Structure 1
C-alpha cells in the first residue's frame, strides 16, 4: 500500500509507526484507518521487529476523527455506518492484540479515538503538556468502539466521568487514572530505557506474556483459568527460548537472544 497519512520505518529491532497529517492535527479517517491496519499487519510479520512505537508528527498526537469523515458519516445510512465503525473497531483490536509490545508517545492533544489508540498500546508515555478528551458526547455521539479499551485502562469509575462530561484532562490526570504509564518533558529520552528493557527480554516470552495478559484479563479465578496458566508456564519452560533463558541464568551468562 502507498501510505499517504502515515509513515512506517523499521530500524533494527524497532518499528516506528507515525501519524503524518499534521496539517489537520493527525485526525483520522477511513483512509488513515486502512493504512494503519495494513502497517500493523506488516509490523506483525516483520522478521526482526521486537517493539513497535506509535507516534505522531507535529504539535498534536491526534485530534480524533477527521471533520470531513464525520460529515460523510452523517450522510450514510445505518448499514454504511456499521461498516465504518467496524473498520475502526478492527484497528483497535489489531493494535491491542499485536504480537509485538507497543509503546505510544503522546504529545499535544489526544482526543476521541486517539484516546483509544493510547489505551490499546501496552505502554503509553505522555508529554507533560499533553491533554486528553473523550469528546464524543459534545457532538451527540458516544465513544462506543473505543470504550472497552479505555475502560480497561482507566477503570470504569474514571472512564464514566470523562465519557459523560467530555472535559479535557491533563497528562497528570491521565497518569493518575492509569491511561498513561508515565509523564515526561522529553518523550525521546523516556523512550530509550523502555526500548532497551523490551529488547533485552526473550522475544518469545514477551509475546507469550502479552497474550497471557490479554487472555487472563477479567477472567474469573477458577479451574479453567488456573489450568490455562499452568499449561502456559509448562509450555514455555520446555520451549527453546525457555530452556536457553534458564540455562543462561544458571550458568551466569548472557542468553543467546541478547547477542549480536
Structure 2
C-alpha cells in the first residue's frame, strides 16, 4: 500500500498531499497518523518555512472514514497540532470538502480554494454532529452562517465559505492566488512568523483547552449510537436513512 501522505519541497515550503484517493482522502486512522507524523517532521526541520496542505484527486477530504474511523482523541491531537505547529500551514483546495475535512481547513492558518470546490458539514445526515471539528471551526466562522450549514448538511460554494470564514480566498486559479501568499511567507523571519502565529491562534487554543474533553466524549458517544449506525449504514448502501421524511 502506498503512503497516504505525499511530500515535496520547494524553496523552504513543504507540500503535504492527502493521497488516499480510493477513499476520497477520508480521515482514516492510518491517514491521520501519517499526516501527524509528516507535520511533526516539518515542525522539527529548521529548513521548513511553511507547510502547504493539499490533496490528490477530486476531493480534498471526504470527512471521517466510516470503515476505519480515527480515534476521536487522535483527530483532536491532529487538529491541535496544525494550530500549534510553529510554521504557517496553508490549505490548497481544488476539490470537494466534507465534514471532517472542514476541520482541517479551519485548523490551517490560511485556506485558499478553487472556484470549483464545494463544501458541506454532512454529519447530521448520518446521525452525527460536527463535534471534534468544532474546536477550530467555531472560533473562526460566522455563527449565523454556521448554524445553517451545521443544521442542514447542505452543500455550499467557495464564495459562501469565504463569507463564513472557513476560507481565506477562492480563485479560478488557486496557484496564482497562493503565489503571493507563499512569497510573503518566504520573505518573513521564521521566528517572527512563529510568534505572530501564536497571537492569531490563542483564541482557538483556548477553545481546545476548554472544550476538547467534552467534544471528544460527544463524538465517541454519537459514533456508537443507534442513529449513527443507521445513518452510516444507509450512506454506505446508497439509500436514505430511516428518519428521512
TM-score (norm 2): 0.79
Deviation at 1:218, TM superposition (A): 9.5
> 1:4/1:156 Cα in 2 relative to 1: closer, same or farther (>3 Å)?
same
Question: Does 1:111 find its partner at 2:98?
Answer: yes
Any idea what the Cα deviations from partners look like across 1:26-58, whole Å, max 9, x if unmatched?
Answer: 112000000011011000011210010000001
1:41 corresponds to 2:28: no
1:148 shift after superposition: 2.1
The SS at the match of 2:116 is coil
2:13 matches 1:6: no
CA offset digits 1:183-221 (Å, max 9, x no partner): 1111122221111011111111111011122225698xx
CA drift of 1:12 comes to 2.9
CA 216–96 in structure 1, closer or farther in 2 if over 3 Å, else same:
closer
Aligned counterparts, 1:200-239, within 5 A: 200-215=187-202
- Give the structure 1 partner of residue 180 of structure 2: 193
Query: Between Structure 1 and Structure 2, how many residues are aligned?
Result: 206
Inter-partner Cα distance in structure 1 for 2:58 and 2:142? 28
Pairwise CA distance, 1:155: 2.5
Whether the 8 Å contact between 2:124 and 2:151 is mirrored in structure 1 is: yes
* Contact in 1 for aligned 2:139/2:203 (Cα 8 Å): no
Indicate yes or no: 2:171 matched with 1:172: no
Report which stretch shifted further, 153-162 or 40-49. Answer: 153-162
Unaligned 5+ runs, structure 2: 207-245
CA distance in 2, matches of 1:203, 1:52: 12
Q: Which residue of 2 is the match for residue 64 of structure 1?
A: 63
User: What's the TM-score once normalised by structure 1's chain length?
Assistant: 0.75
Which of 71, 77, 85 is the aligned partner of 1:84? 71
In structure 2, distance between residues paired with 1:68 and 1:216: 34
2:110 corresponds to 1:123: yes
C-alpha distance after superposition, 1:170-195 (max 9, x if no partner): 11110111110111111122221111
Find the aligned partners of 2:168 and 2:182 in 1 and give their Cα distance: 15
Query: Pairwise mapping of residues 149-164 of structure 1 onto structure 2 (< 5 A)?
Result: 149-164=136-151
Moved more, 21-30 or 139-148: 21-30
Q: Which has the higher contact order (CA 8 A, sep 6+)?
A: 2
Coordinate RMSD, CA, aligned: 1.8
Q: Distance in 1 between matches of 2:2 and 2:44?
A: 18
Once the two structures are TM-superposed, the CA of residue 152 in structure 1 deviates from its matched residue by: 1.7
Between the aligned partners of 1:115 and 1:217, the Cα distance in structure 2 is 15
Q: CA deviation at 1:6?
A: 0.9
